[in-house]
Structure 1
Amino acid sequence: MTKIKLCGISRSEDIAIVNHLKPEYIGFVFAKKSKRYVSSNKAADLKKELCDDIKTVGVFVNEPIENIAELFRKNVIDVAQIHGNENEDYIDNLKKLVDIPVIKAFQMNKVTDISAVEYSKADYILLDSGAGSGETFDWESVKHIKRPFFLAGGLNEHNVAAAVKDIHPFAVDVSSGIETNGVKDGIKMADFVAAVRKEDRL
């Protein structure tokens, strides 16, 4: 079954919807330049409202590893997703501090060596079009990647079923595609999850 990550969760209202829809993951964005940024205290409060069987992913850009480790130790996040210039040594050093699963994001419009993606030390890789661009990339370019991956970038309730059918990602990741005027939209969230689950059943 394709896993689902609903990213950029920032309000109690979002958590209530998430608890009903039951995606496998939600994302808290800790990058301060993002319009979806949440503070560590806010994320901790939201985590308390979240169903125990939904994992929280902290989204970071070039964050000091000690900060990520502290959020993991405090049970604010279950997984770390890194979106900046973090290299293999960064992943090693983070894992020396805490035993946290790591997702490394790659902007496919900048990738010149696909082997760097396939052989990343991260537990999971995430293939994106850009840093929150809300646009898709050429999915054909990743059909032959052998390791499981999260697919992100421009996904919405209208195209996610085709993505699941055509390239069989381990998980799909959406943020702007489930928003209206920059705010999470409960109807779009529900339609996105339903489209993935329906395609999985076919």
Structure 2
Amino acid sequence: MDHLNNLPEIPRSASSSKKDSKQCQNNLMVKICGITRETDLKCAESQGSDYIGFINVKRSLRFQTIDQIMGLMAVLNDKKKAVLVLEPENASEAWNKIIKSGIINIQLHSLNLNELNNLKGKINAFNAKGDNSEYGGPYSKLSSKINIIRAIGLSDKINDSKKLEIQLFSKICDGLLFDYQIKGIIGGTGKQIPLDLVIKASKISRSANKDIKVFLAGGMDIGRMKSEGKIISEYFDVIDFNSSLEDSPGIKNKDKIKDLMTIFKEFNWLC
């Protein structure tokens, strides 16, 4: 599994930027994360969000059990939009939740390289099989491959260790998501990563794997897209929004979702 075969295709150039002067169109995608209510899910999907995230991380204020997530999934028309956010202790825990949920896009906020390779082995074996009926549940009805997006934490600098981390995960994952990190904890801070720093991270990632899908998270809001959207669109494929679309944790504001999606539909970032 070399890339996200089931996600919308994005034109690429050989450079670390995805800008193509011959093709000026809006290919920047949206992920709305932290969904906890059916009404918010329906709004996000109807407004055109490319991905919809469900968080199964206990430290999160938007935590949902796998059973709760499966209930929300029943309302989602396009199951391939779903992203399951996990912070498992080991590959076995991750695999069990993946199989139970039936979600094909998996965002991991933990697992070292050894554990991730272990999980990838399970996923590759699953993906290689023509018949997965033995698993039962949602996966017996899906022919789609399972995709891994690894969250990488950034704060104030990229040292040699962080550069190597980005390179190694880029080579074995289908996507990387850059989020703000505080005291070793990735995500959930609502803080934005400095633009020059996260662009540097994106360039490192694409240099290691030109087909990687790069997600930008960390306090993303409409204001930042209005002021920095053009340069962001050159280096990232998907922008992850969460708290900026809420009235309170887990309670999305429909007007904010509509305003966000209107901007993405009408503004040609690459022009």
Structure 1 and Structure 2 fold alike (TM over 0.5): yes
Distance verdict in 2 for CA 1:59–1:53, change over 3 Å: closer
Letter in 1 for 2:166: V
Contact 1:161 1:196 in 2 (8 A): no
Give the superposition deviation at 1:66.
2.8
Q: Does 1:141 align with 2:197?
A: yes
Letter in 1 for 2:163: I
Give the superposition deviation at 1:153.
0.7
CA RMSD of aligned residues (A): 2.0
Q: Give the match for residue 166 of structure 1.
A: 231
Q: 2:179 aligns with which of 112, 116, 128?
A: 128
Q: Give the match for residue 259 of structure 2.
A: 191
CA offsets 1:53-86 (integer angstroms, 9 cap, x no match)? 65211111134323332343345311111113x2
Letter in 2 for 1:89: N
Q: 1:62 aligns with which of 70, 88, 103?
A: 88
Off by >6 Å, runs of 4+ in structure 1 = none
Give the superposition deviation at 1:197.
2.8
Question: What TM-score results when the alignment is normalised by the length of structure 2?
Answer: 0.68
Which ranges of structure 2 fall in alignment gaps of 5 or more residues? Answer: 1-26, 125-145, 182-186, 207-212
Letter in 2 for 1:11: R
Q: Give the match for residue 46 of structure 1.
A: 72
CA offsets 1:175-202 (integer angstroms, 9 cap, x no match)? 1111112211111112122223333364
CA offsets 1:76-127 (integer angstroms, 9 cap, x no match)? 311111113x211122111111242111111111753324213312211111
Distance verdict in 2 for CA 1:54–1:62, change over 3 Å: closer
Q: Quick one: distance in 2 between partners of 1:63 and 1:29? A: 15
Which ranges of structure 1 fall in alignment gaps of 5 or more residues? Answer: none
Higher relative contact order, chain-length normalized (CA < 8 Å, sep 6+): 2
Q: 2:49 aligns with which of 8, 20, 23?
A: 23
Q: Quick one: distance in 2 between partners of 1:56 and 1:71? A: 14
Letter in 2 for 1:140: D
Question: What TM-score results when the alignment is normalised by the length of structure 1?
Answer: 0.89
Q: Does 1:79 align with 2:130?
A: no
Letter in 2 for 1:149: V
Q: Quick one: distance in 2 between partners of 1:2 and 1:129? A: 20
Q: How many residues align?
A: 201
